[in-house]
């Protein structure tokens, strides 16, 4: 498979969980990295990430992607743009829909209005499996019907469409990655707003019980962040474009995942509570993605077992929990 000559990457939202890990990986691969990030804690921004990346060869611009007009030179000089900037709380999006659409769609359109002037620049938009909503047939492939069921997923899908439109009309190659549940070092664990797995780790790290809704039988696939960033790196380099599911072939009951974590810290435990109505109404239920397309075209590989990934993540927060709690 022919590789593109990519030497420099602009990361939008690069100070969050995935951006932090991706920045370090790209540096290891010898790429120049520039980050444009508004430092929005609602998106998973963490000061610890900023401090560490500034020690590396990373140029950090602390501003909104909607102000891209001021950074034309940085955009022009980047061979590839990876758009990670997003609010990811589904519950928050229902409470503040206008705030969500401003951050998850309008700011990206403002960025696209600048990006359109630089043709043939590889562009990667990081989306979410939430755009599929509730599904009845598994695994879910990229041609499955889309059924976003909350404000956040509607806005993420809307931005997918804007990226696709601008790609066709202005002629830049576009890859859209629909991510499943990503976990690992650097994720937001302070509260339950951003992900179930981040909150599970909070409970275990702080010796508290993991709360499972209903009977804990809902299926989720988990992908370790270091496996994800390898795939994003591959998507930067390959000529292949299009929409790809990026996740794990294995989906586990939430109860199974919780039990694995409690084994790491027996001071924690599992308790069962009723499913809150405000969350149940926007929950997608069980999910299992078809990742065969990403495996074929992006060489997507899950090299880390669930046990290894959970243990690595647990050890990280035992050491650095003061920066995340």
CATH of the domain at 67: 3.40.50.720
Sign of CA dihedral 60, 61, 63, 68: negative
Can you tell me which residue has the tokens 């598994």? 138
91 contacts 193 by C-beta, under 8 angstroms: yes
Instruction: Give the strand pairing for 80-83 and 122-128.
Output: parallel
**How many degrees, rounded to 5, is the angle at CA 244 between CA 147 and CA 279?**
35
| pLDDT tens-digit map of 270-316 | 999 999 888 899 999 999 999 999 999 999 999 999 999 999 999 99
Please check whether residue 198 lies inside any domain of the structure: no
Please check whether residue 314 lies inside any domain of the structure: no
What is the rounded distance in angstroms from the CA atom of residue 226 to the CA atom of residue 107?
A: 28
Helix (H, G, I), strand (E, B) or coil at 165: helix
| pLDDT tens-digit map of 163-183 | 999 999 999 999 999 999 999
Please check whether residue 231 lies inside any domain of the structure: yes
| pLDDT tens-digit map of 216-266 | 999 999 999 999 999 999 999 999 999 999 999 999 999 999 999 999 999
Helix (H, G, I), strand (E, B) or coil at 59: strand
Rg (CA), the chain: 19
Mean pLDDT, all residues of the chain: 96
What is the rounded distance in angstroms from the CA atom of residue 196 to the CA atom of residue 263?
A: 18
pLDDT band at 2 (very low <50, low <70, confident <90, very high): confident
Please check whether residue 320 lies inside any domain of the structure: no
What DSSP string describes 103-150?
IIIIHHHHHHHHHTTSTT-EEEEEEEGGGG-S-SSSSB-TTSPP---S
Query: 177 lies in which domain range?
Result: 8-183+223-248+290-304
Please check whether residue 200 lies inside any domain of the structure: no
Please check whether residue 256 lies inside any domain of the structure: no
Number of domains in the chain: 1
Please check whether residue 269 lies inside any domain of the structure: no
The residues near 41 (Cβ < 8 Å, ≥ 6 apart) are none
Q: Residue 234, by phi and psi: left (phi above 0), alpha (psi -120 to 50) or beta? A: alpha
The pLDDT of residue 57 is: 82
* Surface-to-core class of residue 34, CB atoms within 10 Å of its CB (0-12 exposed, 13-18 middle, 19+ buried): buried
Helix (H, G, I), strand (E, B) or coil at 300: coil
> How many residues can be counted in the chain?
325
* Average pLDDT of the residues in 145-158: 97
What is the rounded distance in angstroms from the CA atom of residue 221 to the CA atom of residue 225?
A: 13
Whether residue 187 has pLDDT greater than 90: yes
């Amino acid at each position: 498979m022919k590789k593109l000559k990519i030497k420099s990457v602009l990361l939008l939202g690069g100070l969050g969980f995935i951006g932090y890990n991706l920045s370090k990986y790209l540096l290891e691969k010898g790429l120049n990295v520039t980050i444009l990030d508004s430092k929005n804690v609602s998106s998973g921004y963490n000061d610890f990430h900023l401090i560490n990346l500034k020690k590396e060869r990373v140029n950090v611009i602390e501003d909104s992607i909607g102000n891209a007009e001021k950074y034309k030179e940085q955009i022009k000089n980047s061979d590839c743009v990876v758009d990670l900037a997003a609010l990811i709380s589904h519950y928050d999006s229902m409470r503040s829909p206008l705030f969500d659409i401003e951050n998850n769609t309008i700011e990206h359109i403002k960025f696209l209005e600048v990006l359109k002037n630089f043709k043939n620049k590889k562009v990667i938009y990081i989306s979410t499996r939430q755009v599929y909503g509730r599904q009845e047939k598994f695994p879910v492939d990229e041609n499955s019907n889309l059924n976003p069921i909350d404000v956040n997923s509607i806005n993420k899908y809307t931005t997918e469409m804007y990226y696709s439109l601008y790609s066709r009309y202005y002629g830049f190659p576009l890859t859209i990655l629909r991510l499943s549940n990503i976990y690992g070092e650097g994720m937001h664990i302070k509260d339950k707003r951003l992900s179930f797995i981040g909150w599970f780790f909070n409970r275990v790290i702080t010796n508290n019980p993991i709360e499972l809704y209903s009977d804990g039988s809902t299926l989720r696939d988990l992908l370790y962040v270091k496996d994800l960033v390898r795939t994003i790196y591959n998507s930067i380099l390959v000529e292949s474009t299009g929409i790809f599911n990026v996740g794990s072939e294995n989906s586990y009951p939430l109860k199974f995942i919780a039990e694995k974590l409690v084994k790491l810290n027996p001071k924690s435990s599992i308790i069962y509570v009723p499913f809150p109505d405000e969350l149940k109404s926007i929950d997608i239920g069980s999910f299992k993605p078809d990742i065969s397309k990403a495996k074929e075209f992006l060489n997507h590989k899950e090299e880390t077992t669930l046990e290894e990934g959970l243990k690595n993540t647990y050890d990280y927060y035992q050491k650095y929990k003061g920066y995340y709690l």
